[in-house]
Amino acid sequence: MAGDRRIGVAVDFSPCSVKALQWSVDNILKQGDHLILIVVRPETYEHGENQLWEATGSPLVPLAEFSDPTLMKKYELKPEPEVIDIVSTAARQKSVVPLMKIYWGDAREKLCEAIDHIPLDHLTMGNRGLGPLQRVIMGSVSNYVVNNASCPVTVVKTPDH
């Protein structure tokens, strides 16, 4: 049912994740949905009382805040202008509610936690296109999430991967 869904997109501001975001806006989002950008940072967040966010993730950040570079310094993030443009356009054209949630830690685990804690009705993510050796050493985030998520997951591949 439109308007009741929470659609997540894993975003690391790479070309693959930007493509996944655009694909979600074009193919999944419906009027009134919540579009939740999930950002997973590898490092620990070490700023005062905000250390609590390491375990639970940041509060949900509205578009007005995550499009403001000064406010995003608090989270040590600099969102790509293309991401802000895609999300702002979706908010205007489809009346979606865009939010961002930031986690710190292992992307595989934190994306699965986000699905359950927000909770999400669907997650879209890009594929970095690791080669076979890198995938064995590092593990594939998308493969892990697809196999462990409690909601449908779409992996959007870029043509060069």
Question: Residues 25, 35: contact at Cβ < 8 Å?
Answer: yes
List, for residues 66-84, the tens digit of each pLDDT value: 898 888 887 788 888 999 9
Average pLDDT, the chain: 85
Instruction: Please name every residue paired with 122 in a beta bridge, in sequence order, or none if there are none.
Output: 7
Residues 92-133: tens digit of each pLDDT: 999 999 999 999 888 999 999 999 999 999 999 998 655 554
Phi-psi region of 17 (alpha: psi -120 to 50; beta: other; left: phi over 0): alpha
Domains contained in the chain, CATH given: 6-156 (3.40.50.620)
Instruction: List the alpha helices (DSSP H) in the chain.
Output: 15-27, 53-56, 63-66, 69-72, 81-94, 107-117, 132-138, 141-148
User: What does the alpha-carbon distance between residue 151 and residue 116 come to, in Å, rounded to a whole number?
Assistant: 9
Q: What is the largest CA-CA distance in the chain?
A: 43
